[in-house]
Structure 1
Amino acid sequence: MHVHEKTLTVSGQNWIEYTLENDQGISINCLNYGGIIKDINVPDRNGKLENVVLSFANNEDYLNNPNFFGALVGRVAGRIESSSFSIDGKMYTLPANEEDHHLHGGTNGFHQILWETTPFQTETQIGVHFTHTFPDGDGGYPGQLEVTITYALTNENNFEITYQAISDQDTILTTTNHSYFNLSGNLKRDILHHDVQIDAGQFVELNHDLIPTGDILSVDNTVFDFRKAHPIIDGVHSIDQQNLVASNGFDHYFIFDHQQQPNATITERESGRRLEVRTDQPGMVMYTSNGLDDSIKLKERNATKHLGICLETQGSPASLKHKGFPSIYLSKGETYHKKTIFSFRTID
């Protein structure tokens, strides 16, 4: 196992690109800017190594990165309705960056931070620690927040992301990574025939602004029932109102039943690649890149709708407005500690 690093100069900034490579030949390239994952190279059933995430052709495009390709997301992943919330009766207002709402930490979230980084290697894994202290009031959020996020790759082909944080005030926090996966390899095909399985009997209803309505729906007798695997294309062709509000696809929070492991599995039968997701988060937003188009220049090709699938393990910002949703409140002095493991496998 090896960790390599090189310096990149991007629009006058010096970035570090790390390459994590295990003994099986799997490699992950990531940046200290935004914690961005640029490439994940994994084998197909015949052992051919190819990239399975969407990444820009030009590093400069990560400076803006409105689609959050590969990036860390925080302080709050997802949409905060009307860009406001309250703690103990005190109202906080955040900058709106999607209509009237606050999306993925705002305009200066985790995805645009130049993180302090420390590479490491042990007997069982290689990786990088990302650390940053966010001052009280940064981005409108209360509390000085000390954050450490760790990327680690094992020889068992597991990619582990561990999130740790502590605040000196009561605050809100839920973090994730926003990689877009495409298991066909080097973006040869879209994701419509990726088979998805999710251990979730409920999902969150959205309005036309993609804001939770406050209702939690059963997946029974809908294309949202992924307890048995079926392809993404079922939701694209669906006339279910919830698929239509998401622009013909999925952009919904699934609440895990935590009845079985893994929590989610994605399989691309033609390549034989399978991705398993295990997490201690209460749920996951599955986004099927319904908003991408060919104006976006990616490394292998221009983007298209439904070219990638995001598996955003997190709590629910809807808990700020509605009861019954997984909370994202973090008490003063409490340690936030969450972990998500992406395991890369092959099938016959």
Structure 2
Amino acid sequence: MDIFRSVIENFEGHVVTKIRLVNDNGTEISCLTMGATWNEFLVPTEDGGHHNLLLSFDTAKGYYDNSLCCCQSIGRVAGRIKNGQFTLDGKQYQVPTNENGNTLHGGPGSYRFLNWGYTTSRSANSVSVIFQKHIKESRDGFPGNYLATIIYTLDNANRVTISYSALNRESETLFNPTCHAYFNLSDKRDLSSHSLMINSNEYLQLDDELIPTGRVLQVDETPYDFRKFTNLQQSIDANEGFDDAFVVNGPGMATKPVAVLRDNESGRQLTLKSEGTGLVMYTMPEIDDGIKLSRDHGLDAVPCEGVALEAQQLPDAINNENFGDVVLKKNEKKTYHITFEFEQK
């Protein structure tokens, strides 16, 4: 097990460090302090090289030249909050908005805009990078201040675990983090050879601004039915893309994986687990010109080149009963885990 550190650039006055974690199998991940970003998930290939399972950029700047939130840490609250408004402990709050009058992915002061302090740790079977930051009301506009910790751990089972914690000593606030990770397991620039399984019987109805209406719909006989392995590209074509929230971890499902993504040509497979009530899937149906991902070797990224799988509590949970508990109370600590286990079939 090895840990490597290197300063890669100075971005808007921030010294950005890249931390590489390598296990005994030659699998490695890298993270950037800027945005607590998951930069690479490199798995060995037959020719002695590596394949990056993530869509990523060569520089920190690349992550901020577009609105993809690519592989970055999202908080305090993932997803959208309608009108940036909610009631907490009997008080009405208005937080900063950043999309059509709504608050998306924590708003303009989200986790992803912070340069995080870090330490590292090592055990016999795993290596970790630990990011920490005091999240302040004066910075992001949400009520209260708390200490946030994000831990990326790579173990010898080729499993990546992301742990999000918040320790709150002050007033009640909200906490619903995720990693906005985009995947392409294949050697192609599309998802045509991917199959996806999601353990979900239901998905959320959304309005024209992608805000949950409160209604929960059945996946039966719709393009949202991924209860068995389904060709992802065919489902994308049938639905004109996805930017949708699936209900997961329902009664009797807690021990099952949330989702399994498989590339049928290479045999690469990822199994995703979390404790959250939701899985948001975004397939990049439209993409701005000029976005150059590192795996494209200077070519412009194309629509539906990757799929984002964001494990979290369901979007706008604070304004919808039974969507999940996103309240962080005074003197409370909460921790969520998301795991991605790689296998070569």
TM-score (norm 1): 0.92
Q: 1:252 aligns with which of 217, 222, 244?
A: 244
Instruction: Figure out how many residues of one structure are paired with residues of the other and give that number.
Output: 337
Find the counterpart in structure 1 of residue 132 from structure 2: 131
Q: Does 1:268 align with 2:263?
A: yes
Contact 1:57 1:300 survives alignment (8 Å): no
Q: Report the AA paired with residue 278 of structure 2.
A: G
Between the aligned partners of 1:47 and 1:194, the Cα distance in structure 2 is 23
Find the counterpart in structure 2 of residue 216 from structure 1: 216
Contact 1:182 1:309 survives alignment (8 Å): yes
Q: State the SS of the aligned residue for 1:76.
A: coil
Q: State the SS of the aligned residue for 1:317.
A: coil
CA RMSD of aligned residues (A): 1.7
Contact 1:87 1:170 survives alignment (8 Å): yes
Find the counterpart in structure 2 of residue 235 from structure 1: 235
Deviation at 1:110, TM superposition (A): 0.5
Deviation at 1:303, TM superposition (A): 1.0
Find the counterpart in structure 2 of residue 172 from structure 1: 174
Contact 1:44 1:273 survives alignment (8 Å): no
- State the Cα deviation string for residues 147-171 of structure 1 (Å, max 9, x = none): 1110000011000101110222111
Q: Does 1:97 align with 2:98?
A: yes
Q: Does 1:290 align with 2:285?
A: yes
Structure 1 window deviating more from structure 2 (310-319 vs 76-85): it is 310-319
Between the aligned partners of 1:197 and 1:45, the Cα distance in structure 2 is 26
Between the aligned partners of 1:83 and 1:120, the Cα distance in structure 2 is 38
Contact 1:193 1:268 survives alignment (8 Å): yes
Q: State the SS of the aligned residue for 2:107.
A: coil
Contact 1:44 1:272 survives alignment (8 Å): no
Find the counterpart in structure 1 of residue 22 from structure 2: 21
Between the aligned partners of 1:148 and 1:142, the Cα distance in structure 2 is 18
Find the counterpart in structure 2 of residue 38 from structure 1: 39
Contact 1:292 1:304 survives alignment (8 Å): yes
Contact 1:316 1:327 survives alignment (8 Å): no
Structure 1 window deviating more from structure 2 (129-138 vs 18-27): it is 129-138
Between the aligned partners of 1:13 and 1:305, the Cα distance in structure 2 is 31
Contact 1:69 1:179 survives alignment (8 Å): yes
Find the counterpart in structure 2 of residue 189 from structure 1: 189
Q: Report the AA paired with residue 178 of structure 1.
A: H
- State the Cα deviation string for residues 21-51 of structure 1 (Å, max 9, x = none): 1111111111111111121111357875211
Between the aligned partners of 2:255 and 2:197, the Cα distance in structure 1 is 11
What are the ranges of 5 or more consecutive residues in structure 1 without an aligned counterpart?
none
Deviation at 1:208, TM superposition (A): 1.5
- State the Cα deviation string for residues 151-204 of structure 1 (Å, max 9, x = none): 00001100010111022211111000011110014xx23124311101111111
Between the aligned partners of 2:65 and 2:96, the Cα distance in structure 1 is 16
Structure 1 window deviating more from structure 2 (318-327 vs 260-269): it is 318-327
Between the aligned partners of 1:218 and 1:145, the Cα distance in structure 2 is 38
Q: 1:47 to 1:183 in 2, by over 3 A?
A: farther
Percent identity over the alignment is 34
Contact 1:44 1:271 survives alignment (8 Å): no
Contact 2:254 2:275 survives alignment (8 Å): no
